[in-house]
Structure 1
Amino acid sequence: MVPIAGAAFLGLLWSLRRRDRLSLPRAAVAAALCVYLAGIIANTVFPIFLDKPASTGPWSDFLNVVPVAGYEPADAALNVAVFVPVGILVALVMTRPSWTRVLAVATAISATIEVTQFVTANTLGGGHIADVNDLLSNAVGGLFGFGLLVLLDRVPAVRAVVDRFRWQAGPPVR
């Protein structure tokens, strides 16, 4: 994951530089985003076992599409908490952040992880189950992060600091 995160970081820095928006705070957002996403991927997709024995069970053994049933509150809380930074970081990077856009991005990231978990569990012996509850909890976490940023944005002194980290000039988040 480190080489991929490093390449993504360099790409983000290049994008900021090309738009004449590169600054230390914005580079910090790029670094946080890359490290965060690399950590999420490493902890949700791996381990993968390349010498996996042939599976005799159905693919559905690695899929839970029933919401709430059997979902532990601690798992829900963890999945919400893990995606709070997504809501904050994505809003800082977006041109015109809104709750619908942040929700769409958080959901897309989570759905990509769940699909990857499903595919790797069935083809490479990944150790995870794709779960609709994780998807829903992650989306809520993204919204919580965005809501937190909106609240912070209402405090003028905090807004001045947050503005230094925004990738786009413009009105505060809504």
Structure 2
Amino acid sequence: MSSGEIPTLPVLVPATAVAIAAGWWWLHRQGRLTPLRAAVGVAASGYVAGVLGHVLLPFPIDTDDPLPWRVWLHLTPFVDAVADPIGIVLNVALFVPFGLLLPLVAGVRSARAVAVCGLVVSLGIELVQLAGDLTISPGRVADVDDLIGNTLGAVLGYAVFSLLVMVPWVAGLALRATWPATAQRASGERKRVSSKWEAGRR
């Protein structure tokens, strides 16, 4: 019998606030906190909250006997897509912001790395859904189509990012918004430190 649920807003609102504060604190510790990077942190935290709200929450708690695992696991690609093509489109769209934000938050600079990150994150979501189905929260199907759609969406988002940064002023904006120091900037900082050290020896 059903015994309630883990709600959406009471979980996501404080969790998002904590994530934003943690990101700003990290940037401050690195000496890289700027309004632009702070805005990226808000966007990334809001995006993660939106994804969790879409794929996991609310999290119903049902104590009835669970159905066999085969009911909740679909491993044949594109079977459901024929009957519901909008589903695969939504799964692609869900991870387009992931591919856009990953270069800014994590400094990822290759489509392969973005695809791997998208696949791993999507797989994690599907495994959590399956674990819930087999224990206390049935209802969400772990589907290989979700993995395919999410991974394609991440790569598509990165492709859009790559096209946008071909515009010089957008590239400059992206550079200032990126959280990790770029290799060129890090190299420049090392050279400045080395120069100061050498000057102190003279």
**TM-score with structure 1 setting the length:** 0.90
Shift in alpha-carbon separation, 1:100–1:93, aligned structure 2, 3 A: same
- 3-state SS, counterpart of residue 70 of structure 1: helix
1:39-50 aligned at under 5 Å gives the runs 39-50=50-61
Contact 2:62 2:138 in 1 (8 A): no
Answer with 85-94 or 45-54: which moved more: 45-54
Q: 1:115 aligns with which of 127, 148, 158?
A: 127
Answer with 97-106 or 80-89: which moved more: 97-106
* 1:171 Cα deviation after fit: 6.7
Identical aligned residues as a percent: 34
Answer with 93-102 or 146-155: which moved more: 93-102
* 1:105 and 2:90 are equivalent in the alignment: no
1:126-145 aligned at under 5 Å gives the runs 126-145=138-157
Uncovered stretches (5+) of structure 2, i.e. residues with no partner: 1-11, 185-202
Shift in alpha-carbon separation, 1:96–1:46, aligned structure 2, 3 A: closer
* 1:82 and 2:94 are equivalent in the alignment: yes
Whole-angstrom distance in 2 between the partners of 1:113 and 1:96:
21
Q: Which residue of 1 is the match for residue 73 of structure 2?
A: 63
Give the root-mean-square deviation of aligned CA atoms.
1.7
Question: Alpha-carbon deviations, 1:92-151, whole Å to 9, x = none?
Answer: 112342112211211121111111111112212243100010011000000000000000
Whole-angstrom distance in 1 between the partners of 2:57 and 2:71:
18
- 3-state SS, counterpart of residue 22 of structure 1: coil
Q: 1:12 aligns with which of 23, 37, 41?
A: 23
User: Of Structure 1 and Structure 2, which has the larger fraction of its residues in strand?
Assistant: 2
* 1:39 Cα deviation after fit: 1.3
Matched pairs, number: 171
Answer with 12-21 or 96-105: which moved more: 96-105
Uncovered stretches (5+) of structure 1, i.e. residues with no partner: none
- Aligned residue type for 2:152: V
- Aligned residue type for 1:147: A
Answer with 37-46 or 162-171: which moved more: 162-171
Question: Greater relative contact order (Cα 8 A, min sep 6): structure 1 or 2?
Answer: 1
* 1:19 Cα deviation after fit: 0.9
Whole-angstrom distance in 1 between the partners of 2:93 and 2:23:
25
- Aligned residue type for 2:160: L
**TM-score with structure 2 setting the length:** 0.78
- Aligned residue type for 1:61: V
* 1:15 Cα deviation after fit: 1.2
- Aligned residue type for 1:60: R
Q: Which residue of 1 is the match for residue 175 of structure 2?
A: 163
